[in-house]
């Protein structure tokens, strides 16, 4: 698991990848959520918006319409997408945007970015075996 200290150190060591700073990722998620609230619902009764782009990866925030979601399924989803292949790299569902969920989103985004080779910091999952 990434700790705040590791992410902050990464920001110091790799300033050209400032999008990976925890505070910046959180800020962009919150901004995307505010933009999402004012976006019209599409024909699938959902809404989606881009949060940020890191190399060939895109991070999107989506809201599922309550009537179309399964019971217990989180209404909000953050997904990391490999833009060239349009394939999902990782995703995480949310019920609220509290501190724990934002921290989990940051960890997931940084981990996916690391795993895709866009960041040369230590892996959150430990050394490769």
Q: What is the pLDDT of residues 4-21, one digit of tens each?
A: 555 555 554 444 444 457
- List of E strands, the chain: 46-54, 57-64, 76-82, 87-94
How far is Cα 31 from Cα 45, in angstroms, rounded to an integer? 21
Name residues whose C-beta falls within 8 Å of residue 116's C-beta, 6 or more positions apart in sequence: 55, 56, 57, 82, 89
State which of 42-51, 53-62, 109-118 shows the largest mean pLDDT: 53-62
The predicted model scores a pTM of 0.73
Domains by residue range for the chain, with CATH:
4-115 (3.30.720)
The β-bridge partners of 63 are: 47, 76
- 30-34, 45-49, 109-113, 114-118, range with the lowest pLDDT: 114-118
Instruction: Return the SS3 of 95.
Output: coil
3-state DSSP: the chain helix, strand, coil percent, rounded to 5? 40, 25, 35
pLDDT in tens, 61-88: 999 876 666 778 898 999 999 999 999 9
What per-residue confidence (pLDDT) applies to 1? 45
């Amino acid at each position: 698991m990434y700790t705040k200290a590791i992410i902050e150190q990464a920001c110091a060591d790799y300033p050209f990848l400032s999008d990976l700073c925890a505070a910046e990722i959180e800020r962009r998620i919150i901004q995307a959520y505010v933009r999402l609230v004012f976006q019209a619902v599409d024909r699938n009764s959902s809404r989606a918006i881009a949060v940020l782009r890191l190399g060939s990866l895109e991070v999107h925030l989506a809201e599922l319409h309550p009537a179309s979601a399964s019971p217990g399924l989180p209404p909000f989803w953050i997904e990391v997408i490999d833009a060239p292949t349009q394939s999902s790299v990782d995703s995480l569902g949310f019920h609220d945007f509290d501190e724990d969920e934002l921290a989990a989103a940051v960890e997931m985004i940084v981990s996916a970015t690391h795993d895709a080779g866009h960041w040369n910091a230590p892996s959150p999952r430990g050394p490769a075996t």
